[in-house]
Structure 1
Amino acid sequence: MSEEFHSQSLTHGWSFRDANDDPETRHPVSSIPSVVHLELLQNGLIPDPFVGLNESKVEWVGHRDWVYQTTFPTPTDRSPETRYALLFEGLDTFATVELNDTVILKSDNMFIPSRVDVTDTLLPVSQKANVNTLAILFESPVRRGREVVKSHPEHRYIAHQTEVGRLGARKAAYHWGWDWGPILVTSGPWRPIRLEAYVDRIEDLWVQSVVSGDLSFVSGTVRVRTEGRGAEKVRFELKDRGEIVFEAETVVVDGGAEGKFELRNPALWYPHGYGEQRRYELVAKLFRGETVLHEVSKKVGFRRAELMQEKDEHGQSFYFRINNIDVFASGSNWIPGESFLPRLTDQKYRDYLKVMVEGNQNMIRIWGGGVFEPEIFYETCDELGILVWQDFLFACASYPTYPAYLDSVEQEARTNVRLLRHHPSIVIYAGNNEDYQIQQTYNLTYYYETDKDPNSWLKSSFPARYIYEYLLPKVVEEECPGLPYHPSSPWGGGKHTTDPTIGDIHQWDVWHGAMHPYQNLASMGGRFVSEFGMEAYPHMHTIDAFIDNPAEKYHQSLTMDFHNKARDHERRLGSYILQNFKVKQDFKSYLHLSQLAQSETMVFAYRSWRRQWGSAKDRRCGGVLVWQLNDCWPTMSWAIVDYFLIKKPAFYAIARASQPLAIGVARTYHEWVSGHARPPRASRFDVWVASSRLEPVTATVEVRYISIATGEDVKSSSIFRDISISPNGTTDVFTDSLHYNEDPYTQSIVISATLSIDGAIISRDIDWPQPLKYLNLKNRGVGVEYLADRSAIRVTAAKPTKGIVFEEKPGLWFGDNGIDVVPRDERIIPVRGVERGDIPSWTYLEDDRA
C-alpha cells in the first residue's frame, strides 16, 4: 500500500447556506476557493455589486453567518501508518470547522493557513458508507470584529478610512472599504482546502545563503523540517538549468535535516534591466529506505540585497543596492486586484506584472491593507525581475496588542515569511502602512530616541510600536537573516513621516493635504517616494461596465460619484482640472482632461525625481512608487491600469520617464495664477539625461524651440553631439533661459528635446508653458494613419499638440499613448487588435474636430 505523500484538493461538491436558514436549504458552490458573495451572485441571489448602486444592496452579506459543507470518502489505498490532515490554506475569517460533527479547528486569522491532523476523526475505511462530512461555519466579520473591539476596552481604537471594527479581525482591511474600493466584507474558504495523506512529509524547505561581497561565491545551508513518522534521510539537490551543482544526503534527526553548500561563480538573480533572472531548482527528497515518501522542489535565487541608508549632505540616503549595483526603483504600489479574491486568476496576476515590465517599472510595493499574495505573484516577480517591497498587514490605524492578538500576529508573520523567503524578488519588509502618521495625528506616545524598552511601549498610547519595532524585525531576522526591514511606510528613524531628508515619504500634498500644483512636485521629493498620485477616470469601456442607467452617464451623476470612493474627489479632481485646462462640460472631454491631469502629474514626478538619482556619491532620491498600479473593481481612482487591465495615459508617461535612457527638459515653474495673473518674463530651463545603463553611452541631444501658434521653430536648434552619458545616473546637458519681449502667451513656445543614438531617436521629452489652459491649442493639424504593413499608427501634427489619447479597451494594445507631438517629428505607435484598419477613436487637448 502507498506510503507516498498524496494531496487531494477538495474543490467541488460543496454547498452553502445562511446559518440561520433550515439546514436543508442549501445552494451549490461553484468551486473552492470561494467567498460567499461569489456564490450568492452565481446563484442569482444578489445583484452584481460592481454595477450601479448595487454595492449598498449587498452590504447585509457581511453581517450574516454562513455555512459551507461537503462530503468526501476516506482514501482506501493507504499504508496502515498513514496520517491524514486537512490543510486549510486560508479561511476568511472567523471560522469553526467540524469534521463528522467534531470541532477540529477554530480560526480567526485570514492570513494563517491551518493544517489539522484528522487521522482519528475520519470515518474508518471499513465503515460501509465511508462518507465524511466537512462543515465550516463562517461568522459575520462585521459583528465579530466589533465584539472583539468591545471586549478589549483598554485600547484606544483608531481606524482611518473605515470603522474600528476592522481592528478586531486579522482580515484584509480593504474589505471594509477604502478610498478606492467598496465595502464588501467577505467570508468563506478563500484559498484551497486539501486532504493530505502521508507517512512522513516535508513541512518546510528553505535555503539560507550569503553572497560574498565580490559576488564570487555563495555559501549557506539547505534545511528541511519534517512532520510524521518513519523518515530516515533526506537527499538535497541544487540544479542550475538541469545540471546538479550541489547534492548531499543526510539523516533526519528530531524532525529536521540540513546540508552545507558553497558555489563558486554562482549565477545571480538581478532586477530586470540589470542582468539575468537566474534561479536554481532546489529539490529535497524524503526517504524511508529507498522509498521516496515526499519530494518538494522550489526555485531559488541568489543575490545581495542591501538597503543603503548612509549619512550625506542631504540627510540620510534610502535606496537599494542589488549585487553591488545601485538600482533606482521606478514602480508602483499594489492593492489587491479583486474585491473577491478567489476570482483573481493566475493569468491576471501575470498580466498585471507583465504590464509593469512593459512600462519600464522594476519595483512593486504590496500595500499593508491587503493580503500576502499567492505564490504566483512572487513567482512571476522572480521570473520577470521585479523587486518586491512587502508590507506586513497593518494599515492606517492604531492596532491593539493584547496577548492573544500578539500571538496571532507573530504566527501570521512567521508563517508567511517562511512561505515567501525563497523568493529573490523580495528585498524589503515594512512593518505597516501609515500607522506612524496615526501616531502623529493623534499625538500618541512615541519617544523614539529616549525610550528603547519594548515592554514600556506596550503600556503606552501607541502600543503597536512593539509590533513594528520589536516583534516583526525579530521575526524577519530569525526567519530570513539579513533581509532589510523598515518599521513602517513612511518612516524616517523617529523623525516626522513627512521629513524629506530621511527614510521614505508618502507625498500627498498633491491631491490630499495642501493640494499643491502638480508642477511643484520637482521640489517636493524625498529620499524615496513610496506613495504619491493623482486620480483619473478610466477609459469608457470600464465606465460602461458599471453604469446600468444611461441617464447616469455624466461626470456628476450619483452613480459616478458612488463609484469614486475618494473623499472630496469632486473638489480635488475638479480643482486640478480647472487650474490647468479649459473645461468642456461633455463627459468624454472631462474624462480626457482627468487623464491628462494624472498623466501630467506622473511626468512632473518621475522625470524630476529620477533626475535626483544623481551619481554614486549623490543619491538624493532612490525611487518612486506611484499610488497605485491597479484597481479591485471598476472605478475612478489613482490606478494607472484599471480593473480590466486597461492602461490609462499615465501608465505611458511613467514608461517614457523610466526608459533605460530618458531625456528630460523642464523650465522653472512659476506659480503665478492664484493671485495677480502676471506670467514671468523669463524662464530658465534644464536639459538632462537619466540612465540606468551600466556602461557609458555616447549620444546626440537636440533641443528645439517651437512656436505653439505657428508650429515653426523660433530659433535654431541647440545640438550637442557625442555627449558621454554617465552610467547609472544623471547627466546634465544644457541650461539656458527663455526671454519674452512681449506677453509670453503671445510668444508661447514648447521646448522639444530628443536623445538619439546612431541617428535613431530613443527618447523624447517636451516642456510646455504652464498652465495649459491659457494656450490656444485649436487647429493643430493632427494626422492619424494606420500602417497595416507595420501594425502601427503614424501620428503627425502641423503645430505642437498636447495629449493625443487613443481610446483603449480589452483586445487593443498600444506601444504608446497619451503622447505630445511636434511638427516634423512623426510618431510611429505599434498597435495590436486593430480590426480591418479601423483606428480607435482619439482626441487631444482642445480637439476642434466636429
Structure 2
Amino acid sequence: MALQKIPVEKNWSFRQSTSLGPNGGIATTYLPVSQFPTVAHLDLLHHNLIADPYINTNELSSLWVNDADFTYRTFLPDVEIEEGKRVEIVFEGLDTICEVYLGEELILEGKNMHVGYRVDVTSILQQHRGKELELRLEFKNAPAYAKKEKQRIGYKGNGTDVHFGGPERLFVRKAQYHWGWDWGPALNTSGPWKPIYLEIFHARISSFLVRQEVSSDLESAVLKISGAVEGKHEGVVEIDVLSPSGESVLKKKVKVQVDEKGAFATELEIQKPELWFPFTYGAQPLYTISASLPGLDKQERKIGFRRLRLLQHPLKHAEGTSFTFEINNIRTFCGGSCWIPGDCLLPRFTAERYRSWLELAKAGNQVMIRVWGGGIVESDYFYAICDELGILVWQDFLFACGDYPASADFIANVKNEAEGQVRRVGHHASLVLWAGNNEDYMLAERWGWEYDPSDQEGPWDGTNFPAREIYERVLPEVCERLAGGVPYWRSSPYGGKTSNDVTVGDTHIWDVWHGKQSPYQAYKSYLSRFISEFGFESAPSLRTLHQAITKPSERHWQSLTFDAHDKGPGHQRRYGMYSGENFRFRFNPLRDFVYCSQFLQAEAMRYAYNHWRREFRGEREENCSGILVWQLNDVWPGTSWALVDVNLQRKMAYYVTRRALAKFVVGAERVVTGTVPYMVTSYPEPKEKLSIWAVSGHLTSISTILKLRAFDIETGKEISLPSDDAERKVELKANGTTEIGDLNIPSAGSTVIVAYLSDGKTGELLARWVDWPEPLKFVVFKKDVEVKIEVEEGGKEVRVSADAPVKGVVLGVGIEDGEDAVWEDNFIDLVPGEAVKVGVDGLKGRKVNARWLCDWENEVGFEL
C-alpha cells in the first residue's frame, strides 16, 4: 500500500502563554488561528488584538509580541495503523524555539527555523487508539533564547559587529531580518510557519538526490542519482526519466538495488539532451526524474540540463580575473537584482505572489536574482518558477552582517541546516551559486576582527572571527558533497587582496549613497568584475505611501510617520544632497517627493547599469560580468532601495534597468574636453564630445544602422549634424560591446542628443538613447512645452510626443481613479519629431496623466 500523507491543518488554535503586552496579555485563552501555516502576528491581527505593524507607527505598539511566548494546538485525527506500518509526523518548519508535545509526551525540541523535523509517533498513536490526542506546540520567543545562548557560548565580538538588531540574533538559527533591517520593521515572528502532516507507510524514499553533468560538447549528459530508503521493501528502486514532452527517454525503467544500509545510487547517460538556458539565450525544457518503490512510494525532481561554469580567467586589458557565469558554453551577462523575503509574516506569501514578483523581474530583463543571506532559503515555489522562467539564482547561505559563533553545537546545527537546504533545492537548473554569507568578511576587515587571509589552516576558534570554520570548512564540504556542479563562493563580497577587491570576485558598491556618499556619476570608477550589491533609495508610489500613512497631516516627507517607514540611516540629508547636485527639485507636497526621489534613483541606476554593462566587452574582456541592484522588492510599504514597492508598483528605476538590460542597448557618455579657466572655480568642466557604444546580447554579429539627432532643449529646434555623424552602418559583435566612436556636440550645454539603433535589414528599432547635459539643474527647458498623449489600440497602447525635449515623463492614472494601470515602459525622455509607444494594461478608459522634470516655477504636467 502506497505512502499516505495526511495534512494536519485543521482546527488549530493559539494562545499567548506569557504575560507580556497590554493588560498583562491579550490572548490568554485559546482562539482559532487565522490560517495554517501561521505565525502569532497573523493571528493577533486576525482577532484585532494588535494594529497592523505595517501601518503608521504601529510597529512600536506591537513590539511586545516579539518577546512573548505562544502555544498552538490541535487534535490529531484518529488513524488506523496496519501491522508493519510506521507513522511519522513531519514539521516542515517551526519558527523557531519550540517544544512539541503529543498528548503529555515531549516528542521534539526545535531550535532552528531553517530545518524540517520528522518524528516517529507510531507507538504513541497505538497507545491512544480511538482517543482524542492533542498536538501542542510551545513556542518561546527567539530574542530571549538567543540572549541566553550568547551568554552560554560567549561573544567574542566588540559590539560594532552587528548592524541590525542586537548581537543576540547571531546565536539563533532564525531569519535575521526578523530583528529589523534598514529597509523593514522589527517583527520577530513565532509559530508553525510551514506545513505539518502525518506520513503512514511500510517503506518510503527518505532521500532522493539528483544532480547532472553536461559534456563539454553539449551532446550528452550524465544523471547522478542517489538516495536512501527506510522501512520494509523488496530492495529495488525504479528510476525513470521523462522528457519535457512527458515521454520516457529510457528504453525501460532502471532498477537500482538498495544496499544493506538502505542506500542506492546510479548514473544514467542521456544523449542529446534538450538544454536549459537562461531566458536571454534560449528555452527552459525541464525533465522529470522519478524514483519509486513500486506500490509504496514515489519521489520526483524536475531538472534542466545545463553546463555551468564560473569562469575566473585573466583578462586581456584589465587587472585581475573575470567572474563570469557560463551556461552551455555561453558567457552570460548577469544583470538583475537582490531579493529580500517578500513579507515579514512569511506564511501569507503565496505561490501566486512569488510568481507575480518573478514574472515582473523577467519582464524587466533581469536574468539573475541573488537571494540574500539575512532571510531564508526560499520556498520550493521560488526555485521552480525560476526554472520555468529561465532566471538564474545566486543563493547566499543564511548568515548576514555579523560575527557568528562557532561552538561545536552551533556548527552541528549549521551543518544539518546546510545539508537540508542543499538537498532540498540543489537540483534546480536555475541555481548557479552558493555563497557562504553576506558581508561578514567585509565587516571583519572594516572592524578589525582577527582575520589573517594567509592563515588557511586555523583553528580560528581562539580568534574573534570564529565563523571562518563555517565558511571555509563546513559549507564548502557540504557543497562538495551535495551541490553537484553548483560552485561555492566563500562570501559576498569576496575575492582578491581584500573582500571588496574590484579586480577579483564580486563586490558590494556602497560608496555611493552610503560610505563616502560619492556622486552617482562616480559609479564608473567603481567598476568591478561582478557587482553583486549596490543601490540608491527612493520613495514607493504615492498610493503605497497613503496606505502606510493614514493621517493626512503626516503625509509629508519630514513627518515622524514617514521617517518611521524609511529605515535607511541618514536618508533625510542624502536626498537633499544628491538632488541639489543634479536637478532642481521640490519635496513637498508628498507627490513631489515621490517623483523627485524616484527620478534621482532612476538616474543613478541609468548611469551605473549602462556604464558597467559596457564593460562586458567580449571573450577575455569580461571586465564586468554582472550587476545586481539592491534590491528588487520591498517587505512593507516603506521607502527603500527597491526597484518595485511592496504593492508591485514599479518605480522609475525599474524601467531604466529594464532598458539597460535589453537584448540590444545603445549608450553614450559625455567626455571632458577641456579644463576650467585658471583661477576660476564653481564652473563645470566642458564636455563637448559624446562617446557612443552599443551592446548586443545576440549570439551572432548583426548589421545595424545608427542614427543621431540633436535638438536645442529650450526651443525644441533641431540642430543639424554632419552627415557622417547623423547616420552610419555599425556591425555589432556577438554577446558583447562594440565601441562606435565620438561625436562633437554643438552648444553642448543646451543640446540633447538622441541615438536610434536599428536592424540593418528590417529597419526594426532595436535600442534608443537620449543623452542630456549634466548637471540637469543648469538646463533650461522650454516653458510652454506641449506633451501630447494619445490612447490607441482599444486602450492597450499610449503614444507620447512633445514639441521640445522633455526629461523623465511618467505616465499614470490619477490616485483618485483607483489603482494605477500596468505600464510596459515609463520614465521616458522625449524629443520632437517622434512618438514613443507604450503598452498598457488595465487602463479601462481612464484618463492618462503625465508629469516630467521642468522648471518648478512653471508647473506643467504635474497632475500625478
Equivalent position amino acid for 2:290 in 1: V
Question: 2:429 aligns to what SS in structure 1?
Answer: coil
Question: 1:353 aligns to what SS in structure 2?
Answer: helix
Corresponding residue for residue 74 of structure 2: 70
Q: Is the 8 A contact 2:57 2:561 kept in 1?
A: yes
Does structure 1 residue 832 correspond to structure 2 residue 841? yes
Once the two structures are superposed, residues 280-327 of structure 1 have per-residue CA deviations (whole angstroms, 9 ceiling, x without a partner) of 01111113xxxx101111211111111111123321111110110000
Q: How far does residue 154 in structure 1 lie from its aligned partner after superposition?
A: 5.2
Of residues 258, 262, 273 in structure 2, which corresponds to 1:252? Answer: 258
Does structure 1 residue 211 correspond to structure 2 residue 214? yes
Corresponding residue for residue 63 of structure 2: 59
Once the two structures are superposed, residues 693-718 of structure 1 have per-residue CA deviations (whole angstroms, 9 ceiling, x without a partner) of 10111111112221111112222262
Q: How far does residue 231 in structure 1 lie from its aligned partner after superposition?
A: 4.3
| Separation of aligned partners in 1, 2:57 and 2:284 | 45
Q: 1:68 to 1:719 in 2, by over 3 A?
A: same
Question: 1:213 aligns to what SS in structure 2?
Answer: coil
Structure 2 residue runs of 5 or longer lacking an equivalent are 20-24
| Separation of aligned partners in 1, 2:92 and 2:223 | 30
Q: How far does residue 126 in structure 1 lie from its aligned partner after superposition?
A: 4.3
Does structure 1 residue 280 correspond to structure 2 residue 287? yes
Equivalent position amino acid for 2:62 in 1: V
Q: How far does residue 729 in structure 1 lie from its aligned partner after superposition?
A: 0.3
Q: Is the 8 A contact 2:240 2:291 kept in 1?
A: yes
| Separation of aligned partners in 2, 1:179 and 1:231 | 56
How does the TM-score come out when normalised to structure 2? 0.94
Q: 1:721 to 1:40 in 2, by over 3 A?
A: same
Once the two structures are superposed, residues 582-607 of structure 1 have per-residue CA deviations (whole angstroms, 9 ceiling, x without a partner) of 12233212210101101101110111
Matches within 5 A, 1:281-430: 281-287=288-294, 292-312=295-315, 313-430=318-435
Q: 1:343 to 1:24 in 2, by over 3 A?
A: closer
Question: 1:659 aligns to what SS in structure 2?
Answer: coil
Q: Is the 8 A contact 1:92 1:188 kept in 2?
A: yes
Q: How far does residue 775 in structure 1 lie from its aligned partner after superposition?
A: 1.4
Equivalent position amino acid for 1:248 in 2: V
| Separation of aligned partners in 1, 2:631 and 2:731 | 35
Corresponding residue for residue 148 of structure 1: 149
| Separation of aligned partners in 1, 2:676 and 2:239 | 68
Q: How far does residue 224 in structure 1 lie from its aligned partner after superposition?
A: 2.5
Corresponding residue for residue 689 of structure 1: 694
Q: How far does residue 788 in structure 1 lie from its aligned partner after superposition?
A: 4.2
Q: Which moved more, 1:148-157 or 1:236-245?
A: 148-157
Question: 2:743 aligns to what SS in structure 1?
Answer: strand
Question: 1:398 aligns to what SS in structure 2?
Answer: coil
| Separation of aligned partners in 2, 1:724 and 1:679 | 35
Of residues 617, 639, 644 in structure 2, which corresponds to 1:641? Answer: 644
Q: How far does residue 578 in structure 1 lie from its aligned partner after superposition?
A: 1.8
Corresponding residue for residue 465 of structure 2: 462
Question: 1:159 aligns to what SS in structure 2?
Answer: coil
Q: 1:309 to 1:810 in 2, by over 3 A?
A: farther
Equivalent position amino acid for 1:338 in 2: D
Equivalent position amino acid for 1:378 in 2: Y
Corresponding residue for residue 784 of structure 1: 789
| Separation of aligned partners in 1, 2:257 and 2:302 | 23
Corresponding residue for residue 45 of structure 1: 49
Q: How far does residue 453 in structure 1 lie from its aligned partner after superposition?
A: 0.9
Q: How far does residue 811 in structure 1 lie from its aligned partner after superposition?
A: 5.9
Q: Is the 8 A contact 1:682 1:737 kept in 2?
A: no
Q: How far does residue 496 in structure 1 lie from its aligned partner after superposition?
A: 1.7
Of residues 231, 236, 248 in structure 2, which corresponds to 1:233? Answer: 236
Corresponding residue for residue 860 of structure 2: 848
Q: Is the 8 A contact 2:812 2:820 kept in 1?
A: no
Corresponding residue for residue 816 of structure 1: 825
| Separation of aligned partners in 2, 1:111 and 1:564 | 28
| Separation of aligned partners in 2, 1:315 and 1:250 | 47
Q: How far does residue 351 in structure 1 lie from its aligned partner after superposition?
A: 0.7
Corresponding residue for residue 12 of structure 1: 10
Question: 2:669 aligns to what SS in structure 1?
Answer: strand
Q: How far does residue 739 in structure 1 lie from its aligned partner after superposition?
A: 5.9
Equivalent position amino acid for 1:517 in 2: P
| Separation of aligned partners in 2, 1:639 and 1:524 | 21
Corresponding residue for residue 175 of structure 1: 178
Q: Which moved more, 1:132-141 or 1:478-487?
A: 478-487
Does structure 1 residue 560 correspond to structure 2 residue 562? yes
Q: How far does residue 786 in structure 1 lie from its aligned partner after superposition?
A: 1.3
Q: How far does residue 810 in structure 1 lie from its aligned partner after superposition?
A: 4.7
Question: 1:591 aligns to what SS in structure 2?
Answer: helix
| Separation of aligned partners in 1, 2:819 and 2:488 | 39
| Separation of aligned partners in 2, 1:283 and 1:111 | 26
Q: How far does residue 252 in structure 1 lie from its aligned partner after superposition?
A: 2.2
Q: How far does residue 576 in structure 1 lie from its aligned partner after superposition?
A: 1.1
Q: Which moved more, 1:840-849 or 1:523-532?
A: 840-849
Question: 1:147 aligns to what SS in structure 2?
Answer: helix
Q: 1:359 to 1:311 in 2, by over 3 A?
A: same
Q: How far does residue 24 in structure 1 lie from its aligned partner after superposition?
A: 7.6
Equivalent position amino acid for 2:744 in 1: S
| Separation of aligned partners in 1, 2:628 and 2:578 | 21
Q: How far does residue 548 in structure 1 lie from its aligned partner after superposition?
A: 1.7
| Separation of aligned partners in 2, 1:35 and 1:270 | 38
Once the two structures are superposed, residues 629-674 of structure 1 have per-residue CA deviations (whole angstroms, 9 ceiling, x without a partner) of 001111000000110111101000001011101111121379999x
Q: How far does residue 563 in structure 1 lie from its aligned partner after superposition?
A: 0.3
| Separation of aligned partners in 1, 2:127 and 2:848 | 67
Equivalent position amino acid for 2:500 in 1: T
Matches within 5 A, 1:753-772: 753-757=755-759, 758-772=762-776
Equivalent position amino acid for 1:10 in 2: V
Q: Is the 8 A contact 1:815 1:829 kept in 2?
A: yes
Once the two structures are superposed, residues 414-449 of structure 1 have per-residue CA deviations (whole angstroms, 9 ceiling, x without a partner) of 000000111011000000000012101221122222
Does structure 1 residue 28 correspond to structure 2 residue 37? no
How does the TM-score come out when normalised to structure 1? 0.95
| Separation of aligned partners in 2, 1:562 and 1:501 | 38
Of residues 793, 797, 803 in structure 1, which corresponds to 2:798? Answer: 793
Equivalent position amino acid for 2:770 in 1: I
| Separation of aligned partners in 2, 1:811 and 1:848 | 21
Matches within 5 A, 1:92-241: 92-124=95-127, 126-127=129-130, 130-153=131-154, 155-156=156-157, 158-240=161-243, 241=245
Corresponding residue for residue 22 of structure 2: none
Q: How far does residue 141 in structure 1 lie from its aligned partner after superposition?
A: 0.9
Question: 2:637 aligns to what SS in structure 1?
Answer: coil
Q: How far does residue 774 in structure 1 lie from its aligned partner after superposition?
A: 1.4
Equivalent position amino acid for 2:739 in 1: D
Q: Is the 8 A contact 2:310 2:326 kept in 1?
A: yes
| Separation of aligned partners in 2, 1:554 and 1:783 | 31
Does structure 1 residue 452 correspond to structure 2 residue 456? yes
Corresponding residue for residue 478 of structure 2: 475
Q: 1:358 to 1:845 in 2, by over 3 A?
A: farther
Equivalent position amino acid for 1:151 in 2: R
Equivalent position amino acid for 1:490 in 2: P
Q: How far does residue 818 in structure 1 lie from its aligned partner after superposition?
A: 0.8
| Separation of aligned partners in 1, 2:486 and 2:521 | 37
Equivalent position amino acid for 1:516 in 2: S
Q: 1:849 to 1:430 in 2, by over 3 A?
A: closer
